[in-house]
Amino acid sequence: MAETTMDKIVSLCKRRGFIFQSSEIYGGLSGAWDYGPLGVQLKNNIRDFWWKEMTQMHDNIVGLDASILMHPKVWEASGHVSNFTDPMVDCKQCKSRFRADQIDLTAACPHCGTKDSFTEPRNFNLMFSTHIGAVRDEGSIVYLRPETAQGIYLDFKNVVQSSRVKIPFGIAQVGKAFRNEITTKNFIFRSCEFEQMEMQYFVKPGSDEEWFSFWRDQRMEFYHKMGINPSSLRWHRHGPDELAFYAKDAYDIQYLFPMGWQELEGVHNRTDYDLTQHQEFSGKDLSYVEQETNERYIPYVVETSAGLTRNVLMALSDAYEEETLEGGDVRTVLHFHPAIAPITVAILPLVKKDGISELSQKLERELREDFATFYDQGGAIGRRYRRMDEVGTPYCVTVDYQTLDDQTVTLRFRDSMEQVRVKLDDLVARIRLETKQYKRKEG
Ligand code: GAP
């Protein structure tokens, strides 16, 4: 099987409208990306798949959409102002900046080739700051959030008082986060503006280890449900030198990206660190009282933190295949799970005449009610199938002369390329069933 490289994915994403470089006509802005027509649909579908899994499928998880800008004290309390740093070195010759932990400091500068040109490593804060209001002084600084989690901690009390939730319970949030990353290579893997899907699960101190294990199982299961190849997923437990400043214990779910095994999601035991810090800095009581026992405590937090935009890259990498067909032809196909595919069903009239186009358009309008559809009547049918394979459309429906006689259409499956005849009346139910029972192709 042909190797999946990052170059092939980047090229497909640009060619088919998944992802474009930000500000491309001005030469681009590194670390920033635009999601095109198919990319935004894929991203939204992954987001919705996560949201349903976390909020709808658990009766004790509620949602939140907190603001990106927060009181600047939040980031002092959380520890991000003093601790959210990467060690950096500059090349004295060409002024390029590198992560000190990602290059060999005894080697020549990778950019200009000068030897012994690096400055001493210095800690560089990853938060972007800006000013709020008319006056640009120390007192008007606000930060673009580097993680969505803090908004959840700030609203912990509001949610408890307004939602009748009882510990253990979770708050889920999806949204933008910003980090001034110095190394932004590997396409959308590490960008300065990205999206996170985070859930903070508030538990009684002492039960945290048990919930930490529960959520690790749940999160791995989620990726299996999303149709991701299980052999490309693994756990990595953080060693003492890798742990974030807020974590007692942490495991990453890693995915085998084209550039190797890399973090996809973190599951963290954040203890009572964040709520305690915010209680201290705000002077507001953030403790929880158990109704039955009257016991008062600051809850512990188990966090599941996934990158949404990184999930998009993972889904693309996992789905991509250049398949050699009988006869030697190669087709490029994205094997997306139907639940996340940007287009679910393509409607393709075999010919444009004798009322077949009109019938196909009518069918497309009906299917729209239930699925993301696409209508294409241009070119040879084989070429139209290939175009749909390349953007990962799991089902193609072809309308032909037989349809006029017996009210049946051809339903073609992307992965196997098999075709079956289905009655028009049964089509919606059949596609729903196929989606529910979808199993990823072995390999
Ligand atoms: N609230 C905890 C937290 O933010 P993290 O390990 O720093 O933990 C969680 O980030 C996830 O967010 C990562 O596993 C990754 O998927 C995503 N992520 C972090 N930085 C990113 C970046 N610069 N670009 C894209 N995704 C990023």
Atom number of ligand 1 nearest to Cα 266 = 14
**366: which 2 tokens?**
């009906």
- Residue 190 sits at φ, ψ, to 5 deg, of -130, 110
| pLDDT for res 443 | 52
145 in contact with ligand 1, CB cutoff 6 A: no
- Residue 186 Cα to ligand 1 middle (Å): 15
Atom number of ligand 1 nearest to Cα 198 = 1
Q: Are 212 and 270 in contact (CB under 8 A)?
A: no
Half-sphere exposure in the Cβ direction for 54 (13 Å, CA): 28
| pLDDT for res 441 | 66
**78: which 2 tokens?**
């959380």
| pLDDT for res 139 | 83
Alpha-carbon distance of 207 to 203, in angstroms, equals: 7
| pLDDT tens readout for residues 89-100 | 999 999 988 889
DSSP assigned state of 255: E
The one-letter amino acid at 124: F
CA distances to 121, 396, 399, 400 from 353, rounded to whole Å, are 70, 20, 11, 10
**427: which 2 tokens?**
């089509």
Mean pLDDT over the full length of the chain = 95
265 in contact with ligand 1, CB cutoff 6 A: yes
Tell which residue, 335, 372, 342, has the closest CA to residue 227.
Answer: 335
- Burial bucket for residue 395 (CB in 10 Å: 0-12, 13-18, 19+): buried
DSSP assigned state of 293: T
Angle between helices 6-15 and 308-319 (to 10 degrees): 100
Alpha-carbon distance of 388 to 173, in angstroms, equals: 33
- Burial bucket for residue 278 (CB in 10 Å: 0-12, 13-18, 19+): buried
Alpha-carbon distance of 288 to 285, in angstroms, equals: 9
31 in contact with ligand 1, CB cutoff 6 A: no
305 in contact with ligand 1, CB cutoff 6 A: yes
Buried b (16+ CB within 10 A) or exposed e, 416-428: eeeeeebebeebe
Q: Is the dihedral of CA 219, 221, 223, 226 positive or negative?
A: negative
Please tell me the residue having the least CA distance from ligand 1 atom 7.
147
The low-confidence residues of the chain, meaning pLDDT below 50, are: none
CA distances to 136, 173, 223, 307, 434 from 267, rounded to whole Å, are 38, 15, 14, 12, 32
**435: which 2 tokens?**
């989606």
DSSP string computed for 75-117: HHHHTHHHH-EEEEEEBTTT--EEETTTS-TTS--TTT--SS-
266 in contact with ligand 1, CB cutoff 6 A: yes
Largest CA distance in the chain: 80
CA distances to 71, 79, 181 from 146, rounded to whole Å, are 14, 12, 11
**102: which 2 tokens?**
């990602």
What is the distance of C-alpha 215 from the center of its chain?
Answer: 18
Please tell me the residue having the least CA distance from ligand 1 atom 22.
190
| pLDDT for res 136 | 85
| pLDDT tens readout for residues 245-266 | 889 999 999 999 999 999 999 9
Pocket test for ligand 1, best of 188, 305, 317 (most atoms within 8 A of CB): 305
154 in contact with ligand 1, CB cutoff 6 A: no
**97: which 2 tokens?**
């900046």
Please tell me the residue having the least CA distance from ligand 1 atom 12.
307
47 in contact with ligand 1, CB cutoff 6 A: no
Tell which residue, 204, 316, 226, 222, has the closest CA to residue 271.
Answer: 204
Alpha-carbon distance of 350 to 420, in angstroms, equals: 15
| pLDDT tens readout for residues 115-169 | 999 999 999 999 999 999 988 888 889 999 999 999 999 999 999 999 989 999 9
193 in contact with ligand 1, CB cutoff 6 A: no
DSSP assigned state of 379: S
Angle between helices 37-51 and 308-319 (to 10 degrees): 110
| pLDDT for res 317 | 98
198 in contact with ligand 1, CB cutoff 6 A: yes
151 in contact with ligand 1, CB cutoff 6 A: no
Please tell me the residue having the least CA distance from ligand 1 atom 4.
147
CA distances to 99, 320, 337 from 441, rounded to whole Å, are 39, 12, 10
Number of other residues whose CB lies within 10 A of the CB of residue 92: 12
Cis peptide before 168 (omega within 30 of 0): yes
- Residue 85 Cα to ligand 1 middle (Å): 14
- The set of long-range contacts for 230-237, using a CB threshold of 8 Å and a minimum separation of 24, is 232/256, 232/318, 233/264, 234/261, 236/261, 236/263
